[in-house]
Structure 1
């Protein structure tokens, strides 16, 4: 292991403390701290030191106050000088402002003209700027159109170069075709293309028409199937109804035959009843002729209800007259009863005659 050097303490040269007892100078006075020799007692020395300290502080404060006052006076003088300078400058500025106002009032017309020129120049500048922007936009659009047309020209040239083969082919077709097949024109290739376009459009129209006809045929076929089914259904229903009607016909025929047989059997009785009915109708006509008035209208043979009503009214009238006569007088009642008996006998005789 390595050995370390021992620690050392370096100190500065100490000053020697020497009491000042000699008045002459010494050579080593710089390195000596001098202590004054005090001959007074301790308490007196303390009292003297305190008084000396207060007086010293007071003197220091007075000195500081004098310095501050002197500085204050200097600042006041400096401020006064500055204020005078400022007032002088303010007066000069006011004079300059007045001069400027005079100049402005003198050259106001010139300034207005310059302002008008400036405004016109600004307006012209703005118009020129707008015109320049418009021209720039037009230039850019025209440049874009030019580029577009150049690109289109290149594409068309490429297409023309690619379609050159087809042109040669069409020219060969024209040479191989008869002379009268195409109309006489300067450009036979264009005529051939128009002919092809016409035939192509005709073919498309025919194909479309064929599709439409096929669709219509399919619809008609479906309608025919539906109509056939409906016809079969109606045929079945009609057949069933016909069978029912035939059954009813047979029943009606049997019923008619039965009724005809009954009619033949009851023919004599019906003739007898018809005769009796005719006699009754003739009796009603005879009685009506006796009961009707001269003012009554002429009735037909079929108005049996009206005739019977007229006979009933006549009998009611006669009955009322009889009752009235019976109530008036007894003598008249005898004669009236006699007349009534005669009338009744007369009516009975008429009925008998009519019955005969």
Structure 2
């Protein structure tokens, strides 16, 4: 490998006395040396690269072989695992079948024991009912006209049993119907009592309302009578006042000289009776106006009359004193 440091020239070429052409030649020589070293190094690199490529190809072939071996080994392992799983599944299935068979055997044993017990029970029952068969045989022998075979006795028993069951069922239905009717009667009685109590409460409420209405009616009638009495009293007082005003008015109109104007009352139509309070009141006001005129004129006249005696006395006094009248 060429050193990158500056190439040292010989001592005789480093002198300042060396010509430029010589220095140029020396530099070219150094450049050629560097170029040659570079070419040598490049050639060496190419050789190494070829060796590396060959090595890489060998490694690639080995890698491909290894991968092929790995694939084959993996396939072998997968097949082995599949066979192992399949064998395990078969073993599990076989164990389950064995377990099922054992359970079937146990169930068979239990069923056998049950059937054996049932057979023993039936055998005991047959032995126990043997005496009934003997009894039925004696009944048949004692009643040959009614029962020819044991089947006839059993048929009669079944008929009587069915009749008894029907009678019991009818009795049960009748009992249920009676109970239902009793419940309905109880409910109806309860409803009637409730309705009766409700009606009694309503009657009591209505009676209380009636009593309140009667009391209110009595109060209203008393108030009405009182109002009627007050109204009659007021009407009587009003009539008396109107009659008094009318009497005064009649006395006043006899002295027409005391009345200044009767135009207002002459234009008004006099009421026919005192029932029309408004018209009677207006007429009374008009009459009071006339009465007022009479009273005012009467007062003025009285004052004038009261002043005349004083004038006579003054004249008499002057005559007595010989004064000019």
Q: TM-score, normalised by structure 2?
A: 0.32
Query: Which structure is higher in helix share?
Result: 2
Structure with the larger RCO, 1 or 2 (CA within 8 Å, 6+ apart)? 2
